[in-house]
Amino acid sequence: MSFPRTLGELRHSPFSEEILLTRRVKDELRDNLVAKLRKGGPIFPGIVGYDDTVVPQIVNAILSRHNFILLGLRGQAKSRILRALTSLLDPQMPFIAGCEIHDNPYAPICLPCRERLEQCGDATGIAYLTPGDRYVEKLATPDVTIADLIGDIDPIKAARGGHELSSEMTVHYGLLPRANRGIFAINELPDLAGKIQVGLFNIMQEGDVQIKGYPIRLPLDVALVFSANPEDYTARGKIITPLKDRIGSEIRTHYPASVEEGIAITTQEAWTQRNGHRLHVPKYVQEVIERIAFSAREDKKIDKRSGVSQRLPISCMENVISNAERRAIRHDEKLVVPRVGDVYAAMPAITGKLELEYEGEMKGADHVGRELIRAAVAKTYDGYFKSTDMNQIVQWFDLGGEIQLADSASACEALTSLRNIQGLMEKLVKLNVGPKDTVETQVSAAEFVLEGLHAHKRIGRNEERVFTAGEKAPKVAEKSFDRDEMPFRGRRPYN
C-alpha cells in the first residue's frame, strides 16, 4: 500500500483536512476503542486478571477522553498497560516530513513548519509514524528538568541561524513536545519536582510554557498518562493540586486476586521455553512459587508500602527451571522437571525482591525467604493431601528411616531411595502421578510430599537435604547424641 507523499496528495486521501483537523489523539484512541468494543474480544491482550476491575475503568477513561493515572504498587503491570495503549492508535499517522514534533500537515504549530508550508504549499513532504513511534515514556526522578521534559533555548542554534534568543527557531524540544500527536507516559509522577509539574500543567491547560523566562506557545496534542505508587501519591504536596485536578481518572491496580491468576501471569511472562530440553513444570511447583508472593504480601516482616512485585514469582520460576535444567544437563536427562528443592535453590531470585521491615531485617532475608517457601509448600500440600493419611510415611522416618534428596541428585538415583519409603509412591495418585510416569516426574512428586510433611513439621530435614524423623530429629553432626536421648525409637540402617 502506498501513502500520499505530499500535502497535495494527502488532501485527496482518507487523511483529508476535515478528518485530520478534528481528530485529536484522544479522539483517535476513543474511536479505535469503540471499534474494538464492538468487535468483542480482549481489549488489551496479555493483561491478565484485570478484566473485571482495571480494564473497564481504563476503557471508561479513554471513552471520556481523559488523561489518567494508574495507582499501584510495584510489579502490577502499570507500565505494560500504558504501553498497550498504542494498540488503540491508527496504524499510520501522517506528519510534515522532518518535523521534530510531528506537526499536523494542516495545522503545524512549529515555526519552521509554518514557514515551509508557506514556501512549498501542496508540495510539502509528508511522512508517517507507526503507533510505536508515537509512544514516549519517561521515568520521573527529582532531577528531571524543564529542559528534559519541555525544552530549552539553544543559543548555538540562535547564533547560527541569526535568530533572536526567544525565537521559536531556537528551541531545542524536550520529551513532551516530541510526543506531540501521541501518548506521553510519565512513571512515578510524584517524583517530578513541583516546578516541572507546573510546567506540565501549563501545557495541558493553556498550551503555553515559559522556557528560561521566554514564553513559548506550544498547543500540543498529547494523551497524557501517568503511574504512581499510592503511598507517594496521597502524601501531601507530592502532586500539585492543579495538576491532580486535570487528571480525569484515577485507576487503582492490584496484585492477582487468586493463585490461578498469578500462575497465568507468571506462565506468560517467565522465560520457560528454552532450547535443548523438554520441560514439564508440575502444577504444584507453579502453585508453590506463586504462593511465595501471596504469603510475602501478607507477611508483617515485609514492607507493605513497597509491595511484593509479580516479578518475584516470574524470576523465581526462571531460576527454578534453571536449577532443574542444570541437574538434567549433568545427568544427561532428557526431561526437565522442577522439584520443590529447586525452589529453595532459587533464593537469589526471591530475597532481592523483598523490602524487609525491622523484624525481617533482624532475622535476615535468607531466613525470611525460607519461611515464605515453607509456608507456600504447606499451603499447596494441603490443597492435595489435607485429608490423606500420611502416618505410614511419618512412621517410616520415626523408625529411623533417612533419605537424602540433594537438588543435584539424578532422578534415577533419587527414585531408588524414595521407593524404600513405605506408602509413599501410592500417595502420588492425588497428583495424578503413577508408576507409568517418567522417573523425573515421580521423583518431583514424591519429594513434594516429603517437603509438605516437613513444612508441617511432621518430619525433619536438615541443610544437606536429609529427611529424618520429626522436629527433634538429629542433625548430622549430633546424630549419635540425639539418638541416645531417644532410646524408644527403633533403628533402621540407613545405607
Binding positions for Zn ion, rule: CB under 5 A:
99, 103, 108, 110, 113
| DSSP symbols for 50-104 | -TTTHHHHHHHHHHTT--EEEE--TTSSHHHHHHHGGGGS-S-EEEETT-TT---
Nearer to Zn ion (CB atom), residue 103 or residue 154 = 103
Asked whether the beta carbons of 225 and 80 are under 8 A apart, the reply is no
Smallest distance, Å, CB 116 to Zn ion? 8
Smallest gap from Cβ 110 to Zn ion, in A, equals 3
Smallest gap from residue 174 Cβ to Zn ion (A): 15
Cβ atoms within 10 A of the Cβ of 70, count?
Answer: 26
The least CB distance from residue 180 to Zn ion, in Å, is 9
3-class DSSP state of 245 = helix
216 vs 424, which CB is nearer to Zn ion? 216
Report the b/e string of 395-434 with b at 16+ CB within 10 A: ebbbebbbbbbebebbbeebbebbeebeebbebbeebebe
- State the minimum distance, in angstroms, from the CB of residue 108 to Zn ion: 5
Nearer to Zn ion, 111 or 198 (CB): 111
Taking the least distance from each CB to Zn ion, the nearer of 97 and 335 is: 97
CA distances to 320, 374, 424 from 418, in Å = 22, 21, 8
Pairing of β 466-468 and β 403-404: antiparallel
**Pick from 269, 328, 261: nearest CA to 291:** 261
* Residue closer to Zn ion (CB basis): 110 or 405: 110
* Distance of closest approach, residue 17 Cβ to Zn ion, in angstroms: 17
114 or 280: whose CB is closer to Zn ion?
A: 114
Q: CA of 76: how far to CAs of 259, 268, 346, in Å?
A: 15, 14, 22
Residue indicated by cell numbers 524423623 = 469
Q: For residues 95 and 184, which CB has a smaller minimum distance to Zn ion in the complex?
A: 95
* Cβ contacts of 165-173, under 8 Å, gap ≥ 24: 165/214, 166/214, 167/111, 168/110, 168/111, 168/112, 168/216, 169/111, 169/112, 171/211, 171/216, 172/147, 173/100, 173/101
Closer residue to Zn ion, CB minimum distance, 108 or 131: 108
Using the Cα atoms of residue 58, residue 66, residue 20 and residue 94 in order, give the sign of their dihedral.
negative
- The rounded distance, in Å, linking the Cα atoms of 145 and 165 is 20
Q: Is 320 helix (H, G, I), strand (E, B) or coil?
A: helix
Name the residue nearer to Zn ion (CB basis): 158 or 335: 158
Is 97 exposed, middle or buried (CB count within 10 Å of its CB: 0-12, 13-18, 19+)?
A: middle
The residue number whose beta carbon is nearest to Zn ion equals: 113
The nearest distance, CB 338 to Zn ion, in angstroms, is 55
Amino acid at 170: T
Using the minimum distance from each CB to Zn ion, give the nearer residue, 110 or 192: 110
Assign residue 432 a region: left if phi > 0, alpha if psi is -120 to 50, beta otherwise? left
Least spacing, CB of residue 86 vs Zn ion, in Å? 22
Query: Residue 205 Cβ, how far from Zn ion at the closest point, in Å?
Result: 22
CB of 241 to Zn ion, least distance (A): 33
Q: Strands (DSSP E) along 343-422, which ranges?
A: 403-404
